Structure 1
Amino acid sequence: MTMPHPTDDDDQLAREAHRWVALLVSGEASTEDAEALRTWRRTSAAHERAFAHARRRWKDYGQAGQTLRESGQLPPWTPPRPLLSRRAVLSGAAAACAAGYVVAKPPFDLWPSLTELAADYRTGTGEQRRVTLTGGLSVRLNTQTSLTVADNAAEELKLIAGEASFVMPADAQRPLAVMAGRGRSTATSGRFEVRHVGASVCVTCVEGEVRVEHTGKAAVLIGGKQVRYDARGLQPASVADLNVSTAWQDGMLVFRFTPLSDVVAEINRYRPGKVVLMSDDLGASPVNGRFRIQRIEDVLVWIEQAFNIKGRSLPGGIVLLS
């Protein structure tokens, strides 16, 4: 079988795709950049293939590139004349060597992974967004949330990371399925929320009914119930505190006997940079409070006063609490 030779157009798409990946792994990509990438990928099937190939190549290069470069088997890759914004002008060798690390785990989680940035819909730090999909499905995305529409069909979505609220239209013709981690949540009506932060997923049914499946087990939730799953499996369903789980939609963060370490982790989802709790002993201390998301820095001040600790500010929005 004779394989077709790459054309000039294919080479051009490959170069553009590599520049997109270079921008994403640079840590400087914005929400606008993610939207522009989404438009570029949907230009044609060839664009999507070029991006998928570039993503695989950069990931492999990042993981193995340093060893190959040191052995002299892989020359440095220098990007051609940039087609994107100034942020895409990177050092090819430096970006390539770093790519595998930042794709899998950005240092200090200071920016989203490549998979998150390449999602169909994404919110940046502290950003919330409403979208209406085909059939009238209403989706509200919380901060640092990435959502992909499977095969351009609104009936199946993938929550890559973050938190989202889904409101089914009254005349929905087909059920909605939301994939998160290794689980699947299906609903035909009502409203439910899915939170996928780290390795844990929490599904909360606000109205109606939701079926949650995970590794061969299933739970059916009605309004006011929630269930969690992670590597340990599907946990028993429990009563949800809707005043806490839905507070973000009112611009609030509500903590009720929440460990301080979890509070700090939640703060990090809403502010640029990183807050680091240096004392392990304080991590389990319970926190109760109601705070405005728009005044997230006030939470840090409250923590310092409540626990008699001091915050040390470093460049890049990093704050050490000790």
Structure 2
Amino acid sequence: MKNMLITGGAGFIGSNFCHYWAVQHPNDKLIVLDALTYAGHREHLAMLEKNNQLIFVQGDIGDQPLVEKLFAEHDINCVVHFAAESHVDRSIDGPDAFLQTNIMGTHVLLKAAKKYWLDAGIAEHHFHHVSTDEVYGSLETDAPAFTESSPFAPNSPYSASKAASDHLVRAYHHTYGLNVTTSNCSNNYGPYQDSEKLIPLIIQNILLGKALPIYGDGKNIRDWLYVEDHCRAIDLILAKGKIGEVYNVGGENEWRNIDIVNLICDQVDAALAANTQLLQQYPNTPYAKGDAAKSLITFVKDRPGHDRRYAIDPSKCHAQLGYYPQESFETGIIKTINWMLHNQKKNQGGTSK
């Protein structure tokens, strides 16, 4: 049985992981630590709290006394570390918070893990660190995908701070013997994602009849992973992953931003055509006025340091974990659109990644 501390569990990937884990491992004890910044929403966990399937604690991973208290009170033997400042645009405008949370916050967790596990002689423990493909930098269009041995070359304050946290996790394994694993994942999408990210922003703006802002020429390429597939990969890493190893978790779904936007436009229009009652809820969507969603596409000035392409080679996950994504991009995007059609919230802004 795991007594699991899930940092950032009220965020996008973290909340999906909590729901996934509660179903797959109902006897485990889940403790969620989340600061509830703009990207954290406790209501995403409301049903799990109501059913006594997790304990929620509002707090900062940089709060050493609080983190140590949670380790001690709940006999934590597993950490899944999602908590991070994660939006590239925000890191360009205000990098300090990214260094504080992503680097120093991770170090606080590692220090607590060392104190309550290693210093106490607890052999059965696991610290899993969730990271990003952005630590590897940018790829040319025809370059091979990133592997676990690709050198780090971060190009934004966000990715640099995540690269630093990856190094800290590795160091605590090699220096102190902490049982760690790390996963570097490609772009996630799915339910509960904050609307500053590309896919929920595009869906939301179509429904509200707002411009669909696309950076530069829209030809930046990303590898997309449905969030539940990511959760399954972490489950396999915790169960079968080799301690000290890094696993690249990819969706094997490379898409140009402009092609994603065009696909979403077509799918949202199709969903509204199939259920015209939704037009009462979204009267400003182009379809309600006889127009196509694509009419909202607007190209905007590219941002500084915008990586051209990310792509993950998940061969190691295939070989060692038996992991393969269950969702294609086409099936996953339909699920995401349907979820947003029935869970729409007011616009929070954003643009393409």
* TM score, norm. by length of structure 1: 0.26
Larger radius of gyration: 1
Higher relative contact order (CA 8 A, sep 6+): 2
Structure (1/2) with the larger strand percentage: 1
Structure (1/2) with the larger helix percentage: 2
